[in-house]
């Protein structure tokens, strides 16, 4: 490809990354791909890596964000460009570094996606079944309970498939969750989640076990452990018809965002989410503020200029 040929105008660069910088092979491979992508971007502008300007780098980064590339990946691509231009300067192949004074993407600005409350209501009411088969009814009840728990407690996928029956304290209205680093936290469950769990526990769990046993709260047919992919498929199927392609993580983000919108303090939200640092939780104040501004612009009679 022409872009790959363009990227190879830097002889010795890969050896420089490996020997001088001591970068891992996977990082070098990623940098090579990033460099080829930027070279292809420049080619459309009839430029090369050797005569790129600062505006080219800025426009490249802007295009990445416009294409919904996450902040971490953008940061890595910018790091690859900084390495190559530092190398070109040392080799005296260029006189100016076009990556100078370009700030790295700030991770806190990459706002997580959340659902509106009416979208969330539509998803929670989605898992219905008209089949008379007990297995199908049991699966629908399980899915309803899982969706309610994902949203009520802002659980990650790995957390919900790992919850054990002994972790559920339904009479007390909470569940014990093991998060990242095996850290435990107590997550409260609202009435909707409690009702869905009660229905699931009363009629459906034993049907899905099919005579087998398991310590897990949620599982697949025959007491088999659920996979992460299956949970993603279930959430995606529940979001069909809502206009959004939802994921389990969007339910987690929606829980946090809606709590902040309703006045919850960040420390409480931090505890529910299991964040070790409150700065990670502060992103939800930005989400809530953005939505507040959008609602204001839409509904206040003097919000728009005449």
Which residues are part of the catalytic machinery? 156, 180, 249, 252, 275, 284
* Max CA separation in the chain (angstroms): 76
Sign, Cα dihedral of 132, 137, 138, 139: positive
Q: What angle do CA 294, 267, 188 make, to 5 degrees?
A: 95
255: left (phi over 0), alpha (psi -120 to 50) or beta: alpha
d(CA 118, CA 13): 53
54: tokens are 């600062």
d(CA 109, CA 282): 11
Smallest CA-to-CA distance from 245 within 255, 258, 235, 257 is with: 235
* Helices and strands (H, E) in the chain, number of each type: 15, 3
SS3 68: coil
Enumerate residues 6+ apart whose C-beta is below 8 A from 163. Answer: 149, 155, 175, 176, 177, 216, 217, 218
Residue with tokens 């690859």: 80
22: left (phi over 0), alpha (psi -120 to 50) or beta: left
């Amino acid at each position: 490809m022409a872009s790959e040929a363009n990227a190879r105008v830097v002889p010795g660069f890969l050896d420089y990354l490996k020997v001088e910088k001591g970068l891992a092979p996977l990082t070098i491979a990623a940098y090579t791909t990033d460099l080829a992508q930027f070279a292809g971007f420049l080619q459309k502008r009839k430029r090369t890596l050797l005569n790129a300007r600062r505006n080219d780098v800025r426009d490249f980064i802007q295009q990445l964000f416009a294409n919904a590339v996450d902040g971490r990946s953008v940061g890595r691509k910018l790091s690859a460009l900084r390495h190559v231009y530092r190398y070109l300067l040392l080799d005296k192949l260029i006189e100016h570094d076009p990556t100078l004074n370009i700030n790295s993407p700030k991770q806190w600005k990459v706002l997580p996606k959340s659902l509106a409350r009416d979208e969330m209501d539509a998803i929670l009411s989605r898992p219905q079944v008209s089949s008379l088969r007990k297995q199908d009814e049991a699966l629908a009840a399980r899915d309803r309970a899982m969706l309610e728990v994902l949203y009520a407690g802002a659980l990650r996928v790995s957390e919900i498939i790992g919850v054990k029956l002994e972790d559920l304290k339904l009479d007390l209205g909470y569940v014990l969750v093991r998060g990242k680093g095996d850290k435990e936290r107590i997550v409260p469950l609202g009435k909707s989640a409690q009702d869905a769990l009660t229905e699931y526990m009363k009629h459906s769990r034993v049907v899905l076990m099919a005579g087998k046993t398991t310590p897990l709260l949620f599982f697949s047919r025959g007491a088999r452990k659920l996979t992460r992919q299956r949970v993603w498929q279930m959430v995606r199927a529940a979001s069909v018809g809502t206009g959004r392609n939802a994921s389990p993580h969007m339910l987690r983000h929606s829980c946090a965002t809606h709590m902040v919108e309703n006045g919850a303090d960040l420390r409480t939200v931090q505890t529910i989410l299991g964040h070790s640092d409150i700065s990670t939780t502060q992103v939800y104040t930005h989400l809530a503020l953005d939505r507040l501004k959008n609602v204001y612009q839409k509904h206040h009679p003097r919000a728009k200029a005449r």
